[in-house]
Amino acid sequence: MKKQRSGNSKALRLVYLALILFLLSWILLWGSNSFYQVWKQKQSIQKLQIQSDKLAAENDSLRRETYRLKTDPDAAEEVAREQHGMIKPDEVIYRFKPAQADTLAKRKP
């Protein structure tokens, strides 16, 4: 009889051990609130926070540029000339194209 009890108790211990290992692995790896999932969500939040900070900085820059264009006539004229190619009456503009690479190579001795 003693052999049966020790056999049953060993089997019972193995079942308990397996159950505990399963629960621990579920908590650590597989559950929806597992440590792994929480870690992945924190990483995602950090990436999104960085992206949000970049967009906020860009919005602030654009807001300042808009305010400058609305309030400073010289800034509006500068943008009209540089970005849109507008000129004043009786004004001549010369545009120079950069030299091409093969032309520069021919000129070198």
> Is residue 59 located within the same domain as residue 8?
no
Number of domains comprising the chain = 2
Give the pLDDT score at 60: 97
Residues of the domain holding 65: 38-107
> Is residue 76 located within the same domain as residue 99?
yes
Closest CA to 77 of 27, 101, 69: 69
> Is residue 53 located within the same domain as residue 84?
yes
Confidence of residue 103 (pLDDT cuts 50, 70, 90): low
What is the Cα–Cα distance from 72 to 60, expressed in whole angstroms? 18
Report pLDDT digits (tens) over 49-86. Answer: 999 999 999 999 999 999 999 999 999 888 888 888 88
> Is residue 53 located within the same domain as residue 9?
no
> Is residue 103 located within the same domain as residue 61?
yes
> Is residue 23 located within the same domain as residue 54?
no
> Is residue 42 located within the same domain as residue 19?
no
Report pLDDT digits (tens) over 7-30. Answer: 688 889 999 999 999 888 877 777
> Is residue 26 located within the same domain as residue 75?
no
Token digits for 6?
A: 């020790």
Confidence of residue 1 (pLDDT cuts 50, 70, 90): very low
CB atoms within 10 A of CB 80: 13
> Is residue 5 located within the same domain as residue 43?
no
